[in-house]
Amino acid sequence: MNGARIAVEALRREGVEYVFGLPGTTIMHLIDAMAERSDLRYISVRHEQVAAFMADGYARASGQIGVCLASRGPGAANLTIGVHNAQAESVPVLALLGQVADDIYYRDAFEEMDLVRFFEPITKWSAEVHGTGRIAELMQRAIRTALSGRRGPVMVSLPLDVQIADAEASFQPRFLPSRPAPPDAEVRDAAGRLAAARRPVIIAGGGARDAWAYDASLIKLASRLQIPVVTTWLRKNTFPNDSPLFCGSLGYGAVSATDDLVRRADVVLAIGCRFSEFTTKRWTLVPSDADLIHVDIDPGVLGRYYVPAVGICADAGLTTAALLAAAEIRTPPAGERLERAAAARAAYLEQTRLPPPSGPGPVSSAAIVAALRTMLGGGPGTGTARTILVQDAPSLGTWIHRYLDFTEPGTFYAAAGGSMGWGLPAAMGIQLARPSDRVIAVSGDGSFWMVAQDLETAVRENLPVVNVINNNFAFGNTRDRQRTAHGGRYHGVFYGNPDFAEFARLLGAHGERVERDADLVPALERALASGLPAVIDCVQDRHEGLPADLVPPAAR
Ligand SMILES: Cc1ncc(C[n+]2csc(CCOP(=O)(O)OP(=O)(O)O)c2C)c(N)n1
Ligand SMILES: [Mg+2]
């Protein structure tokens, strides 16, 4: 086999079904090797950032590695935003890159760039393969690395001559890393502290997703001990939001009832959480005298800022299951714990009632959130399919974070890495991983426009993602900072937009332009019923944005 065929065979042996990419001279052999196969689909996009974001969305929704492909220098550079975001959010993505042939390297050849050095800071591992016989070994190792421990992106660069040469192919058996179990002594110590606590709280982060999705041990543990549960920023879907113990999501947009549970806790059980800047209100939230039990698969986050009383480096689901089985927690908690949990939930519900539409119009953000709530609740047009909400990086995210509930695992995905433009591509990747679910992506106009050309990809690939655009003709988030921290001197934040619905129709998608709150739900229903990729252009006032009580802080 030539190197390109070996590389593609290695991908298949690791279970890869989709590769997202954009062609270039140094990857033509790889694309050709994929064209020969019926068991792997190459999906061509219109900008490499979209390939990386699609791989990210696919990886999150499938639990598998996501693979994106680009050519050397410029193509590789265009991928980086998605690789960086995958690193920020611990998503297993393989960036497979072509590279200048070895015999002309270090001569400033056309589009030459040191890819390993370029990608090293934003990946778990970056490698360049300099012998065709080693392609399978190093690609398989890269994929194992991406999927092991705290997941994350990896990069493999394949110089052109390495892809063209023939070699004896030898593949390694597929290996999935095992999930590390928690040590007994730490589990007993943690269980004892939880049982004795007076004001305990559980913080569930992205790493705890599976403890709900697969064995529900997190839910059972919280319920057995009657401990209120909050999630980290943008990870609201880590715990069922309709549980009587769910008390909100921390971070930007959190209500005080949620923050106060942590501020006043005597014992904090943090699972699959790295205590990020936003979740912790810049590390001011967790009281210094609280007993911290910190569970994470990455030893590097234990004690990074908050030093735990009990640090457990293990899988989240195995740890919640072990805690549940510990003798220390068999006795049901006393009545005051039940009362406290009920009061916490009531306070949270009281503070998260969606305010009535109050903006100057035409379409208010509150109305968009209300319409999305109808759709998530299985509104007309959604049929029996599950609806998945994908949130880009617009101001509307804060509304969603605060006011929408997610009651099934895998129904909410958001860009906590902050990359504008993540929404539409991630939604396409998620739709491929979950073909029978309905996917709605919410983006700001500024964010959507960064990747708008790839609506054509959605049309070409029959991916019926519905894009709701909160179109305020502004970089709203930055506009608000200029209002609050820069004396209202608006500079570089307002711009013009075309009719996005018309744009969508030009590309063969379904388009709706909505100018009144009342027209939103019917437009969403028509979009879902069309079976096409769709755009709902929600025309807003250019000052419409965040809830009134949420003012972005000054830069510091
Ligand atoms: C790629 C990228 N560039 C810049 C930023 C900084 N930024 C964060 S939000 C934002 C404005 C977003 O505008 P839009 O998507 O229209 O959403 P809105 O806030 O108006 O709802 C900007 C520029 C970012 N997060 N990502
Ligand atoms: Mg905007």
Taking the C-alpha atoms of residue 186 and residue 392, their distance in angstroms, rounded to an integer, is 39
pLDDT-above-90 percentage for the chain: 87
* Stated pTM of the model: 0.97
Taking the C-alpha atoms of residue 30 and residue 59, their distance in angstroms, rounded to an integer, is 21
Question: Is there a contact between 192 and 269 (Cβ–Cβ < 8 Å)?
Answer: no
Strand, coil or helix: what is 315?
A: coil
Q: Where are the alpha helices (DSSP H) in 241-395?
A: 256-263, 316-325, 335-351, 365-376
Provide CB contacts within 8 A for 528, sequence distance 6+.
Answer: 375, 381, 382, 438, 466, 534
Strand, coil or helix: what is 13?
A: helix
Would strands 246-249 and 229-231 be described as parallel, antiparallel, or unpaired? parallel
Using CB distances shorter than 6 Å, the residues near ligand 1 are 393-396, 418-420, 444-447, 470, 472, 474-478
Cα of 13 from ligand 2 centre, angstroms: 43
Taking the C-alpha atoms of residue 334 and residue 136, their distance in angstroms, rounded to an integer, is 58
363, 477, 491: which to mutate for ligand 1, most atoms within 8 A of CB? 477
Provide CB contacts within 8 A for 519, sequence distance 6+.
Answer: none
368, 450, 475: which to mutate for ligand 1, most atoms within 8 A of CB? 475
Per-residue CA distances from 156 to 11, 399, 490 (Å): 12, 39, 43
Question: Is there a contact between 427 and 496 (Cβ–Cβ < 8 Å)?
Answer: no
Question: Is there a contact between 365 and 545 (Cβ–Cβ < 8 Å)?
Answer: yes
Q: Residue 468 corresponds to which amino acid?
A: V
Question: Is there a contact between 60 and 91 (Cβ–Cβ < 8 Å)?
Answer: yes
Residue nearest to atom 4 of ligand 1 (CA): 420
Q: What is the pLDDT of residue 383?
A: 56
First to last CA, the chain: 56
Question: Is there a contact between 120 and 48 (Cβ–Cβ < 8 Å)?
Answer: no
Per-residue CA distances from 345 to 187, 250, 351 (Å): 27, 14, 10
Strand, coil or helix: what is 95?
A: strand
Taking the C-alpha atoms of residue 405 and residue 416, their distance in angstroms, rounded to an integer, is 18
Question: Is there a contact between 512 and 523 (Cβ–Cβ < 8 Å)?
Answer: yes
For the chain, what's the residue count? 556
DSSP class of residue 411 equals: -
Per-residue CA distances from 67 to 99, 154, 231, 410 (Å): 17, 10, 29, 20
Mind listing the pLDDT tens digit for each residue in 428-461?
999 999 999 999 999 999 999 999 999 999 999 9
Cα of 446 from ligand 2 centre, angstroms: 5
Q: Which helix (H) or strand (E) holds 427?
A: helix 423-433
Q: What is the pLDDT of residue 380?
A: 53
Strand, coil or helix: what is 239?
A: coil
Provide CB contacts within 8 A for 477, sequence distance 6+.
Answer: 393, 394, 395, 444, 545, 546, 552
Question: Is there a contact between 136 and 171 (Cβ–Cβ < 8 Å)?
Answer: yes
Cα of 189 from ligand 1 centre, angstroms: 45
Q: What is the pLDDT of residue 359?
A: 60
Residue nearest to atom 23 of ligand 1 (CA): 475
Q: What is the pLDDT of residue 31?
A: 98
Q: Which segments of 122-204 are extended strands (E)?
A: 125-128, 154-159, 200-204
Provide CB contacts within 8 A for 248, sequence distance 6+.
Answer: 230, 231, 254, 255, 257, 258, 348, 352
Taking the C-alpha atoms of residue 512 and residue 504, their distance in angstroms, rounded to an integer, is 9
Nearest CA to 353 out of 491, 214, 462, 257 is that of 257
Cβ neighbours around 456 below 10 Å, total: 16
| Token pair in block for residue 42 | 């190459």
Taking the C-alpha atoms of residue 368 and residue 348, their distance in angstroms, rounded to an integer, is 22
Question: Is there a contact between 182 and 211 (Cβ–Cβ < 8 Å)?
Answer: no
Taking the C-alpha atoms of residue 506 and residue 451, their distance in angstroms, rounded to an integer, is 16
- Nearest ligand by distance to the CA of 473: 2
Q: What is the dihedral of CA 541, 546, 548, 550, to 10 degrees?
A: -160
Residue nearest to atom 5 of ligand 1 (CA): 420
Taking the C-alpha atoms of residue 436 and residue 17, their distance in angstroms, rounded to an integer, is 17
Q: What is the pLDDT along the chain (556 residues), one digit of tens a residue?
A: 999 999 999 999 999 999 999 999 999 999 999 999 999 999 999 999 999 999 999 999 999 999 999 999 999 999 999 999 999 999 999 999 999 999 999 999 999 999 999 999 999 999 999 999 999 999 999 999 999 999 999 999 999 999 999 999 999 999 888 899 999 999 999 999 999 999 999 999 999 987 777 779 999 999 999 999 999 999 999 999 999 999 999 998 899 999 999 999 999 999 999 999 999 999 999 999 999 999 999 999 999 999 999 999 999 999 999 999 997 787 777 788 889 999 999 999 999 998 888 666 699 999 999 999 998 876 555 556 789 999 998 888 889 989 999 999 999 999 999 999 999 999 999 999 999 999 999 999 999 999 999 999 999 999 999 999 999 999 999 999 899 899 999 999 999 999 999 999 999 999 999 999 999 999 999 999 999 999 999 999 999 878 777 777 777 7
Cα of 485 from ligand 2 centre, angstroms: 19
* Closest atom, ligand 1, to C-alpha of 396: 21
- Nearest ligand by distance to the CA of 447: 1
Q: What is the pLDDT of residue 259?
A: 97
**Alpha carbon 202 to chain centroid distance?**
21
